[in-house]
Amino acid sequence: MVYLTAIKICGLSREEDIDIVNQLLPEYIGFIFTKSRREIREEVAKQLKKRLHPSIKTVGVFVNEDMERIVRICQAQVCDLVQLHGNEDHNYIHQLRNQIPQKIIKAIRVKDKRDIQNSLDMDCDYLLYDSHSHYANGGSGTSFDWSLVEGVRKPFFLAGGIHKDNVLEAIRRCNPYGIDVSSGVETDGYKDPEKIREFIGKIRSVIK
């Protein structure tokens, strides 16, 4: 079955995380290759990728990363897509495109409408709109004003403070290509199988 709203569970780092998504089959999962409590080492990501159901695409998340490292990880077939979550500009994205075949997601930290407008000509395959934080490049667990992205036509993921109690409202208002969740399906900093099951089940019970 093809679902209208893709689901991305980000920040997986353990075998048990892979086992639960293999049961529930979200379209995407994320490996975070940057300083974070969810950071994963390359060798661990390689092993988890081998364990992952082949229908699920892996997204490598990078923040202002040395391009050679991204290329190396992509060449090792660890990532099916690359997510740039820092201050990467048009020139950086253009250079990266010339070196990898993987599709690129560019994350935008949203403060106001100008951030949305400035993102629309980014040379990426998907945008990802996340809440702005002065202290982190993402993963703040807070939402932003969703009305700012209403009407955006370029395919985008919606992130930031999404959980089971607001995800259907987020989809209804914003009509995103995909929903990105991390802390919203965690307990005590770890992915919670029951929260993942409930989150995915809630979306797929009504959005088909």
Calpha distance 146→169 (Å, rounded): 10
Of the residues 17, 80, 130, 180, which is catalytic? 130
Diameter of the chain measured on Cα atoms: 42
Closest CA to 97 of 73, 77, 70: 70
In 3-state terms, what secondary structure has residue 10? strand
Give the tokens for residue 50: 């081998």
Known catalytic membership, residue 165: no
Catalytic residue (one of 10, 74, 79, 124): 10
Q: ∠ at Cα 5 (193, 174), nearest 5°?
A: 110
Count CA atoms closer than 13 A to 202's CA, side-chain side.
18
- Is 121 an annotated catalytic residue? no
Per-residue buried b or exposed e for 133-171, using 16+ beta carbons within 10 Å of the residue's own CB = eeebbbbbbebbebebbeebeeebbbbbbbbbeebbebb
3 state SS of 7: strand
Q: Which residues are catalytic?
A: 10, 130
